[in-house]
Amino acid sequence: MPARTALLLVALVLAGVPWCVSRPHYDPSFGIHFRLPSFCNGTECKVLPDGTVQLTAAKNKMGAFESKSYFQYGVFEVNMKLPSGYSGGLIPCIYLISGENLDYRDVHDEMDFEFLGGSDPSSIRVHTNVIAGGYTNVEQYKFAFDPSAAFHTYTMVYAPNWLVWKIDGRPIRITWRESGKPFPSLPMKIMGSIWDASFWLPLKSDYSKGNVTVKFRRFNLREACRVENLKVEPACAFRNDARTGAWLTRPTRNDIARAKRHRTLYLFKEYGGWQKVV
């Protein structure tokens, strides 16, 4: 890095100016951009020697992690290995969320990759969800592979006018901003967790079958626009420079075609567009 650039970056940090992570950042030590929350200090949350984060669901215990900062738009990516065996009633997930300690019904912004547990890995469902202005828009998909056999890459693209969910680099869903309809716009932090949703999933958790674990690694914040002050919109929030690659670049025709094909082959359930959160 040239000396002038280094001095400029130091000056920006000291001045409290928001910054964008301009290159893919793989954090093997986990601690640069992420942390375990204070409630998660037992066997349910572990950072393994190779940097993999292992979250476990046991009776009355759930694992989670979170980013240290909020971000206004960007590309958020992680490798996940989902539970093997019975995971009924449980939801491993990676998601973006705009607030702290929220009830689901509180007005907030959210973008989710949730994985609805099943009797075995073949019955795990991909639950993609976006929440904005008190409304939710959900689509569920079947997996094209065994998500517990190996790590796979899950990507969320959060842009002012579109959202993209990807698995292993291939778009599976694209949602566009439409006039008069809700759409997320708030700074959000990144969270990962595994939680018990037996109260609404058809299968119920059964801890007599053993604890259930999910693993995360390679936490990638690509051109993620960090927000230092939640009351002030960062200058980088509306950058739209194609030279940066994936960040805020409009989905291509090929992306759109791939998402439509995935929908045709693997859509499991849809809820009819935007619905009031109840």
Q: The tokens 């194609």 sit on which residue?
A: 242
CB 48 within 8 A of CB 251: no
Distances (CA, A) of 3 to 7, 10, 16, 18, 56: 6, 11, 20, 21, 45
Q: Which entry of 44, 77, 100, 110 is annotated as an active-site residue?
A: 110
Q: Which entry of 114, 139, 178, 233 is annotated as an active-site residue?
A: 114
Task: Tell me whether residue 77 is one of the annotated catalytic residues.
Answer: no
CB 215 within 8 A of CB 45: no
Task: Tell me whether residue 66 is one of the annotated catalytic residues.
Answer: no
User: Could you give the residue numbers annotated as active site?
Assistant: 110, 114
